[in-house]
Structure 1
Amino acid sequence: MQLRLGLTLALSVFSLAGCSSLAFNNGTLDYKDTTELNPLQYPEGSMVRPATPLYPAPTVDQLAIEHAPKLENQKGNRFSLPRPDENQEHAISDAGQAEEAAISRPQLVTDGNQNPLLKIDGNSATIWQYTLATLSSLNHTVVAQSKNRYEVTVKVDQQTYILKLSSVGSSNSLAVFNADNSFADKQTAADLLTQIYQNWPA
């Protein structure tokens, strides 16, 4: 009788506590121990088309990895998102809503000479940060970046182009130029601006 009562109490404690609060290792942090795999090797003489990854893994700076937030529980044996502070949550929400209201969605347009442009209304500095973040997500190599102007030199398919953000009032235009500051080929510029438009983070 006492054994049955003890077993019932033990089961009750486990059911009330739940597995998550006991923090058993459930394998959710195993991604930290992953290793890089070599590209797929095809047998010699086989007729295969070259494989290009649709979503290549972005290159992440080691400094960013070292300063990344630790999304794990107190014991460090399972994935866990931190609980937001209530005041901080309201402040972030208000700031996010104000910023979203200040920045419009990009629009693909052309100028009088039919050169493709990406038109975005809002704060130029914020728009430029969004542009750089989008280029990073697209895995385009950034060759150089101007410190005084909203200009960045990128390499796309072994060709070098310059992206420039110009503004008139609150209206901003993103355009693609060749290395000699002439407008890039219309189709090439349209393709790059379309990629930025489709992957815009806001």
Structure 2
Amino acid sequence: MQLDGDLYSRVIAWMKILLPLAALGLLSTLFLISRTVDPTQQVIVDEIDLEQRAHEQGVTNPSFAGVTGGGDEVMFQAERARPDLSNPERLIADTVMARFRLTEGTIVDITSEHADMHQSNFTASLDGNVTVTTSNGYLIHTDRIDARYDYLHAETPGPVEGSGPPGEITAGKMRLVSNEETGIAELVFTDGVKLIYKPNGSKD
């Protein structure tokens, strides 16, 4: 019995040595047959990205909301925004959506490729494929629209085209303002307005 016990102890002792060695051999084989990776490539990309972010001081998916003096809610969202390094009051944004929720219930959405916002002046200029959509049925396209977010005011410096409940509309300019007498928001088209009347949304 003593001999069997000694043999058992020796086997266990050898297994404690052989099994870890076998495991190391398997791991070594895996590393040898794996694809070679250059670790410096990822480091370079990370360094460039960090330097770019530090230089641009940009943020992703920024948003802010407020209320105008007349009680209308204003909200701005962007895919990315960055400050103007030469003017800290100026903010440059890309892929922008502005929403005006008016006191009488109408919602006005404005989307654009870019926006130039000035914080202390409470102004924003949206440009690049600007689309104005209202919950009461207007869809307007233009190149640029200048807006304020301390009170209700948005105006295009150039021509607009689109459609609404009356029909198809083209005009030299368009303004979104609050009527001074009633306080109700209005879309005002000026400078050579053309309307193709289409009652009840007719396409003919």
TM-score normalised by length of structure 1: 0.29
Larger strand fraction of residues: 2
Larger helix fraction of residues: 1
Larger radius of gyration: 2
- Whose RCO is larger (CA < 8 A, sep 6+)? 1
TM-score normalised by length of structure 2: 0.29
